[in-house]
Chains A and B, each alone.
Chain A
Amino acid sequence: MNEWRRERAAREARIEAGRAQVEGKAEGKVVPADRVVALLEAILRPGDRVCLEGDNQKQADCLARGLVQCDPARVHDLHMVQSGVVLPEHLDVFETGIARRLDYSYSGPQGARIARMLYGGQIELGAVHTYLELFARYFVDLTPNVALIAGVSADRDGNLYTGPNTEDTPTVVEATAFKNGVVVAQVNEIVDRVPRVDIPGDRIDFVVEADKPFYVEPLFTRDPAAMTETQILIAMMAIKGIYAEYGVRRLNHGIGFGTAAIELLLPTYGERLGLKGEIATHWALNPHPTLIPAIESGWVRQVHCFGSEVGMDRYIRERPDIFFTGADGSLRSNRAFCQTAGLYACDMFIGATLQIDLAGHSSTVTQSRVAGFGGAPNMGSDPHGRRHPSDTWMKAGREAGGVGDPSLMRGRKLVVQLVETFGDGLVPTFVERLDAMELARKIGLELAPVMIYGDDVTHIVTEEGIANLLLCRDADEREQAIRGVAGYTEIGRGRDRAKVEELRGRGIIRRPEDLGIEPLDADRSLLAARSIKDLVHWSGGLYEPPAKFRNW
Chain B
Amino acid sequence: MEKLSFRHATPGPLPGRKSQAITGVVASGNLEILLERVLEPTVCTVEIETPIRGYGDVWEAVIADFVARARPGGLRITINDGGARPDTVSLRLLQGARLMEV
**Is there a direct interface between A and B, measured as CB atoms under 8 Å apart in the complex?**
yes
Interface residues of A (CB under 8 A from B): 228-230, 233, 420-422, 426, 463-464, 487-488, 493, 519-520, 522
Asked if A230 and B94 make an inter-chain contact with CB atoms under 8 angstroms apart, the answer reads no
> Would A230 and B87 be within 8 Å (CB), given that A426-B52, A426-B55, A488-B62 are in contact?
yes
Q: Which of B43-102 contact A (CB under 8 A)?
A: 52, 55, 57-58, 61-62, 83, 85-88, 91, 94-95, 98
Asked if B98 and A520 make an inter-chain contact with CB atoms under 8 angstroms apart, the answer reads yes
Q: Which of B52, B55, B57, B85 has the most CB of A within 10 A?
A: B85
> Would A487 and B87 be within 8 Å (CB), given that A426-B52, A520-B98 are in contact?
yes
Name the residue of chain A whose CB is nearest to the CB of B94: A520
Interface residues of B (CB under 8 A from A): 52, 55, 57-58, 61-62, 83, 85-88, 91, 94-95, 98
The listed residue (A230, A426, A493) touching B91 by CB distance below 8 A is A230
Asked if A463 and B52 make an inter-chain contact with CB atoms under 8 angstroms apart, the answer reads no
Given A233-B91, A426-B85, A520-B98, 9 new contacts (CB under 8 A): A230-B87, A421-B86, A426-B83, A487-B86, A487-B87, A488-B86, A488-B87, A493-B61, A520-B95
Bound-state Cα–Cα, A228 to B94, Å: 16
Q: How far in angstroms is the closest Cβ of chain B from A466?
A: 15
User: 6 A-B residue contacts at CB 8 Å?
Assistant: A230-B91, A421-B85, A488-B61, A488-B86, A493-B57, A520-B95
Residues of chain A contacted by B83 (CB below 8 angstroms): 426
Bound-state Cα–Cα, A420 to B58, Å: 16
Residues of chain B contacted by A488 (CB below 8 angstroms): 58, 61-62, 86-87
Q: How far in angstroms is the closest Cβ of chain B from A447?
A: 32
Name the residue of chain A whose CB is nearest to the CB of B86: A488
Q: How far in angstroms is the closest Cβ of chain A from B47?
A: 19
Bound-state Cα–Cα, A230 to B91, Å: 8
Q: How far in angstroms is the closest Cβ of chain A from B63?
A: 11
Q: How far in angstroms is the closest Cβ of chain A from B50?
A: 11
Q: How far in angstroms is the closest Cβ of chain B from A78?
A: 45
Bound-state Cα–Cα, A421 to B84, Å: 13
> Would A421 and B87 be within 8 Å (CB), given that A426-B52, A426-B55, A488-B58 are in contact?
yes
The listed residue (B52, B55, B62, B91) touching A229 by CB distance below 8 A is B91
Asked if A520 and B85 make an inter-chain contact with CB atoms under 8 angstroms apart, the answer reads no
Name the residue of chain A whose CB is nearest to the CB of B89: A488
Asked if B86 and A422 make an inter-chain contact with CB atoms under 8 angstroms apart, the answer reads yes
Q: How far in angstroms is the closest Cβ of chain B from A50?
A: 44
Residues of chain A contacted by B98 (CB below 8 angstroms): 520
The listed residue (A230, A464, A520) touching B88 by CB distance below 8 A is A230
Q: Which of B55, B83, B91, B98 has the most CB of A within 10 A?
A: B91
Bound-state Cα–Cα, A426 to B59, Å: 13
The listed residue (B55, B61, B62, B87) touching A463 by CB distance below 8 A is B87
Asked if B85 and A420 make an inter-chain contact with CB atoms under 8 angstroms apart, the answer reads yes
> Would A422 and B91 be within 8 Å (CB), given that A488-B58, A493-B61, A520-B98 are in contact?
no
Name the residue of chain B whose CB is nearest to the CB of A427: B85
Bound-state Cα–Cα, A222 to B87, Å: 22
Residues of chain B contacted by A463 (CB below 8 angstroms): 87
Residues of chain A contacted by B88 (CB below 8 angstroms): 228-230
Bound-state Cα–Cα, A463 to B95, Å: 16
Bound-state Cα–Cα, A422 to B58, Å: 12
Q: How far in angstroms is the closest Cβ of chain B from A72?
A: 47
Bound-state Cα–Cα, A421 to B85, Å: 9
Q: How far in angstroms is the closest Cβ of chain A from B3?
A: 18
Q: How far in angstroms is the closest Cβ of chain B from A497?
A: 11
Name the residue of chain A whose CB is nearest to the CB of B92: A229
Q: How far in angstroms is the closest Cβ of chain B from A215?
A: 31
Name the residue of chain A whose CB is nearest to the CB of B30: A228
Q: Which of B62, B87, B94, B95 has the most CB of A within 10 A?
A: B87
Q: How far in angstroms is the closest Cβ of chain A from B76?
A: 22
Bound-state Cα–Cα, A228 to B85, Å: 12
